Structure 1
Amino acid sequence: MLSQFLQTSILRTVQTLLPPAGSGESLPMWHVNIEQPANMQHGDYSTNIAMQLAKILRKPPLTIAEQIREGLEQNSEFTRIVKKTTVVPPGFINFKLDWAAWAQTSFDLPKASGEKVVIEHTSINPNKSAHIGHLRNSCIGDTLVRLLRKNGYDVEVHNYIDDLGNQLADTVVGLLQLPMTGDHERFGDYCWDVYAGINKVYAQDPQLIHKRTEVLHALEEGHQNESWLGLVVAERIVREHLEEMKQFGIDYDLLVWESSIVKEGFWSSAFDLLKETPLFYQEAEGKLAGCWVLKQQTDNEEYAETKITDHEQDHSTDKVLIRSNGILTYTAKDIAYHLWKYGLLHNDFTYKSFTKDVWTTSPGGNGQTKPFGKASAVINVIDYRQQYPQEMVKQALNVLGFEKEAEKLRHVSYGVVSLSPAAAAELDVDTSDGKASYAMSGRQGIGIKVTELIRRVEIFIEQTRADKSGISSRDIAAASIRYYLLRFALQTEVVFDLKQATEISGNTGVYLLYAYARSVRVLSKAGVGESVPAVPGMLPELEMQEHALLRHLSSWNDTLAEAAKELSPTALCNYAYELASLFNHFYAACPILKSEGEVLQLRIWLTALFKNTLGEALEVLGLPAPERM
């Protein structure tokens, strides 16, 4: 990477300025920060390292910067790439590149050494159709999969199926207890109404909730009417979920069923390990009498109370892993699952094929053995409301002495999707209170289903596009929705508005697709194939728009590496949008096919470089790269 080249060159020079080893000087850990100045006149890249070193060297930053500049100018490899190094107050060092030399030098993305990462995402309760909030999870998770694979990681994708939870139990109770009619094209949509309906009945007749407990026991024990019904419901709905996600280019390697964890003895193995620790015990008195509890090493009840939502109380309240009635909490099974993810249990699943490309855990030992699990690192994409249970899983790993694994367990937290007043009103939600957003609620049947969303956006695009001979309206709709859900910062609550999601200008997926198709059209007219044409030996003086585009192109590998480090799909969106904008400015200001000689050669090369780079960005973001819109 270019930034790595600059960092290494600067570090070599800095080492000559530092106090000698054994001098008694305490040297702090510091990092050579490389960035692109906002004003191109200041340079292509810049560093503030001289200001970081001022206290260590006890010299003014400007003096240190000048010493670093002088040292760098003695480095022939550096000066071949950097044609000018300048120092400006209060101690910045700015670099202007020789772009012809840069183009002829390989600054490849450093590849991870095959480290295996398990990424768990989607993990929708298998009791009804998926909605747009679930889709945000899946789009984030799938983009992280693509991003880490691009950076050289061996990535395994899991979709955890909670087929023993309250939500599925409620749907089963509804199917058994609630008469339901209506026009439904899909089973998941029917169950959507059943689930909302039974929760309304619970509110009217709280005594009926005991049926949920009966079904929960049946689901865990198996081999009863309710358990077989739950299995059939869950499997049918999971297949529909996979079909829904496939429309957005989202794939999985393995479906892990919660029932497999229980029936294959994973929890029993985890339970035996936890019993050997002093922080896991059975309460003898109080409101938790009879419960098996994992005590936090730093107990903070106020924190726990603020972090556990009503939804989480159904699964994991107060660190309880086994309730007094013997039912396991979600967190208990999740601890066992994570011990398996890291290869820390003697147990393993057996597997069978679920679809052509997806495997599933298969209780009973009739399936095949496969090399799943045994990860070096684990990433879980789960919304911010699950922060407390995720921390309890990490706590359990630490309690059991697996500190390295706990450190490499990362929770990618994100804000939920709510509805704008306009979107809520379309669903007949009362918006008279004038709130800025309205939460979706499966229990109340409030939300926009994924299938309904893509249908609406497809219709809008089909009605508004003039040329329909290129990429299909459905593919454009899927790209538009996916990018819309990715471009917001992870912790941001997405207030979904159908009109905003279908916009084709500005920071949208459609804007990126048009820019890519435009570059393909230009190169086709120029007679250029798939490969990037050779860079001109000597570049003519660059126009401002050419320089801006080239400078941004040079930072692509740095963006990939940083986005992987920070697990940030938003960084990729920001890069891609700015790249498309810079190309469109270049296209408008600098005639390409009408230019001649070395200018023509430069602009065709720039266009091809843009096409390939944006194509890579679209691939990582999970968007199509259309030759024609």
Structure 2
Amino acid sequence: MYLELQQRLLARVHEILKSTYDIELASIAIEQPPDLKMGEYALPVAFELARKLRKAPKVIATELAAALSASLGPDQGLDQGFASFEVAGAGYINVRVARDKAASQLAAGDNSSARETGLHVLVEHTSINPNKAAHIGHLRNAILGDTFVRILRAAGQKVDVQNYIDNTGVQVADVVVGFLHLEGKSLPEIRTLISEKEAEGDQAREQRFDYLCWDVYARVSQWYTSGTEEENKQRKALRYATLHEIEAGGNETAEVAELISTAVLRRHLETMLRLDITYDFLPRESEILHLKFWDLAFEQLKQTGVLYFETEGKNKGCWVMTRPDAKVVEEGTADEDAKVIVRSNGTVTYVGKDIAYHLWKFGLLGRDFGYKPFFTYPDHECWISTEHGVEPHPHFGGAQAIYNVIDSRQSDPQANVIQALRGMGHTAEADRYTHFSYEMVALTPRCAVELGYTIAEEDLVRPYIEVSGRKGFGVKADDLIDKLIAATRKETDTRQPERAESERQKIAEQIAIGALRYFMLKFTRGTVIAFDFKDALSFEGETGPYVQYAIVRIRNIFRKAETTPEQVLADFAKLDASSSLNDADEIWAIWLRSAKRSAILDQCIATSEPAYIARHVFQLAQEFNNFYHRHHILTEEDPAKKALLLATAAIALRELVTVLSWLGIESPEAM
């Protein structure tokens, strides 16, 4: 509602500027006053107009305020959503909304954020190499991506969720080397091992196949460098020979890679489902290779002049990308800094394959994957790419906008893909290509010790300790989730002993998952996170449990009042609340923050930053808790004031539950 009022206000200001001064501004700034006593909006437009009109800003502000005030009547340009327009300072216009009208609209449910845009968006996130169990760093990617999907859908956009699977990469090759050469297992033995692990169902996590692969991967990484110089050379040669066999396909090594990567992928999907993270499509690199996506992209890149064949310098014999911003070099001199897309031995770089993949994403490649069902969720089927798919099937390419949730270390390759799209003439698509980057997740020393790691004394004073799956130092995602649930279950058992075991388990899971997701979301994407159990699970400060507890507190109010939030709001919408709200800035602040849902949503999408939503919901919980401690809601004797207090609690509850769901966090009934 706040955003809708703001848009109406700005539209009217544009009309007045045109009719009064014959001036059209591309945009008009609007601010929020530092104190609600000054109003809900502040317009500094008079300062911008002062030079053009050769008038003092305060004179212009006075003229505009008068014109805006004249617009408040029926059919005069602004409805009764606004109360007054006042000149302040040297030329600001402070705008007050009609609190009674705004409150009635909010109480009646007029705070919708969904606006059917018709925009088809593709979000790619998670994209874990299918060679071992998921770890804590992968959780930040998946939680950021899943939350942004929820935000886009809340804004009315059609979103497909993709999880890119690099099943032919060097990490998978390393695990294949480990099973075939360190473990000495054959293809039939690996197939049997996977079948046995999957048949065991809910076995101890350390017995799962993805956990076994974690250990094999760490061992083989050390094996490559643990022998003599000649032995290490031979082992590395074996690594790349294995990689080439996997990429080529149609051989026993490739079949082993397919078995291992598929089994690990299923475990990854199960892990993410614990966080209520789901996917629509799993495109695999094996199909990008075998369906010759690159061949089609290569021809387009050559035809549009994006690639050229280098005949001189260090890149001689390579196909390199034309750099529009490269410094001018003398004729016949090679551009040594040009990006290599096809090496002199004919192999395609990662960026080349990624260009082909993104042409498909935008529907510009001229070829599609085959599709087959792979993983069934409660409400939809997740499909996976294949060479020869089933019919009928959905289609997941041809998006109008894409977001790639990929860590900041991939900024250069992502920029290369965007550059290629622009060079090919796909400017609109390049403009709608967003690299949704983020920084790494580490551990606080305290957290590392809690997880059982031996930490050197000098590392205990560091702000964080980096994790490394290759070195075997890391936190498996499922272990982290289990530990969080165990901690919250212990607390829940103490606080809610009368509840059934299943209820206590559900509450513990809701709190644990909420704590984890909120911790990953409250930091801006460019911040390195040092995860800590105590910080994440705290009921004080900016945490998921703090927000959840505010919801539980409000629900307890309505249980004791023997009414429902819905009934309270329905009754309140019919009342005249102007007098009580006009004199209660602290209470109005809760209503106003709740009204900003659409504005915060738009801000998140415009900046690709979910942290704004996390901050919004925390501040609302904080404001409600302050309100709760100042007002005795249930014992208030004045019926009108009690109705306002209950309605304020109901508005806060509705907003907290709604926005928390955008973060993928459930609202427990008790804690």
The TM-score with structure 1 as length reference comes to 0.91
Cross-structure match for 2:246: 219
- Per the alignment, do residues 282 and 221 of structure 1 end up closer, same or farther by CA in structure 2, a change over 3 Å counting? same
For 1:300 and 1:606, locate their aligned partners in 2 and report how far apart those are by CA, in whole Å. Answer: 62
Cross-structure match for 2:223: 201
Deviations 1:129-185 (A, max 9, x none): 111111001111011100010001000000000111111111111222224999932
Map 1:520-535 onto structure 2 (within 5 A). Answer: 520-529=555-564, 531=566, 532-534=569-571, 535=573
Are residue 31 (structure 1) and residue 28 (structure 2) matched? yes
Are residue 622 (structure 1) and residue 659 (structure 2) matched? no
Q: Is the 8 A contact 1:7 1:32 kept in 2?
A: no
Map 1:56-455 onto structure 2 (within 5 A). Answer: 56-76=52-72, 78=78, 80-105=80-105, 106=110, 108-109=112-113, 111-179=115-183, 184-205=206-227, 206-207=232-233, 208-299=235-326, 319-356=339-376, 357-366=381-390, 368-425=392-449, 426-430=452-456, 432=458, 434-455=461-482
Larger displacement relative to structure 2 (42-51 or 265-274)? 42-51
SS in 1 for 2:80: helix
Q: Is the 8 A contact 1:545 1:589 kept in 2?
A: no
Matching residue's letter, 2:479: E
- Per the alignment, do residues 429 and 579 of structure 1 end up closer, same or farther by CA in structure 2, a change over 3 Å counting? same
For 2:357 and 2:599, locate their aligned partners in 1 and report how far apart those are by CA, in whole Å. Answer: 34
Deviations 1:194-252 (A, max 9, x none): 11211111122431111121111111111212111111111111111111111111111
Q: CA deviation at 1:300?
A: 7.7
- Per the alignment, do residues 284 and 195 of structure 1 end up closer, same or farther by CA in structure 2, a change over 3 Å counting? farther
Q: CA deviation at 1:429?
A: 4.5
Matching residue's letter, 2:518: Y
Deviations 1:22-63 (A, max 9, x none): x8x8x6533332x33232222223222222322332322222
Q: CA deviation at 1:286?
A: 4.2
Q: CA deviation at 1:279?
A: 3.2
For 2:624 and 2:667, locate their aligned partners in 1 and report how far apart those are by CA, in whole Å. Answer: 16
- Per the alignment, do residues 149 and 163 of structure 1 end up closer, same or farther by CA in structure 2, a change over 3 Å counting? same
SS in 2 for 1:594: coil
Larger displacement relative to structure 2 (493-502 or 246-255)? 493-502
The TM-score with structure 2 as length reference comes to 0.86
Q: 2:630 aligns with which of 564, 572, 589?
A: 589
Q: Is the 8 A contact 2:5 2:81 kept in 1?
A: no
For 1:431 and 1:254, locate their aligned partners in 2 and report how far apart those are by CA, in whole Å. Answer: 46
Are residue 604 (structure 1) and residue 657 (structure 2) matched? no
- Per the alignment, do residues 158 and 521 of structure 1 end up closer, same or farther by CA in structure 2, a change over 3 Å counting? same
The number of residue pairs the alignment matches comes to 610
Q: Is the 8 A contact 1:85 1:93 kept in 2?
A: yes
Larger displacement relative to structure 2 (78-87 or 607-616)? 78-87
SS in 1 for 2:168: coil
For 1:143 and 1:183, locate their aligned partners in 2 and report how far apart those are by CA, in whole Å. Answer: 27
Gaps of 5+ in 2: 186-203, 329-336
Q: CA deviation at 1:18?
A: 4.8
Cross-structure match for 1:311: none
- Per the alignment, do residues 212 and 39 of structure 1 end up closer, same or farther by CA in structure 2, a change over 3 Å counting? same
Q: CA deviation at 1:494?
A: 0.6
Q: CA deviation at 1:79?
A: 6.6
SS in 2 for 1:184: helix
- Per the alignment, do residues 423 and 295 of structure 1 end up closer, same or farther by CA in structure 2, a change over 3 Å counting? farther
Map 1:556-571 onto structure 2 (within 5 A). Answer: 556-571=597-612
For 2:79 and 2:308, locate their aligned partners in 1 and report how far apart those are by CA, in whole Å. Answer: 65
For 1:10 and 1:364, locate their aligned partners in 2 and report how far apart those are by CA, in whole Å. Answer: 54
For 1:392 and 1:30, locate their aligned partners in 2 and report how far apart those are by CA, in whole Å. Answer: 32
SS in 1 for 2:256: helix
Matching residue's letter, 2:668: P
For 1:110 and 1:441, locate their aligned partners in 2 and report how far apart those are by CA, in whole Å. Answer: 41
- Per the alignment, do residues 60 and 121 of structure 1 end up closer, same or farther by CA in structure 2, a change over 3 Å counting? same
Q: 2:495 aligns with which of 464, 467, 477?
A: 467
SS in 2 for 1:418: strand
For 2:53 and 2:11, locate their aligned partners in 1 and report how far apart those are by CA, in whole Å. Answer: 15
Q: 1:54 aligns with which of 42, 50, 53?
A: 50
Q: Is the 8 A contact 1:244 1:451 kept in 2?
A: yes
SS in 1 for 2:83: strand
Gaps of 5+ in 1: 302-316
Deviations 1:2-31 (A, max 9, x none): 33423433442454345889x8x8x65333
For 2:565 and 2:37, locate their aligned partners in 1 and report how far apart those are by CA, in whole Å. Answer: 34
- Per the alignment, do residues 147 and 296 of structure 1 end up closer, same or farther by CA in structure 2, a change over 3 Å counting? same
Q: Is the 8 A contact 2:371 2:388 kept in 1?
A: no
Deviations 1:269-304 (A, max 9, x none): 111111213331333454434333223222389xxx
SS in 2 for 1:249: coil
For 2:338 and 2:527, locate their aligned partners in 1 and report how far apart those are by CA, in whole Å. Answer: 27
Larger displacement relative to structure 2 (184-193 or 334-343)? 184-193
For 2:288 and 2:242, locate their aligned partners in 1 and report how far apart those are by CA, in whole Å. Answer: 18
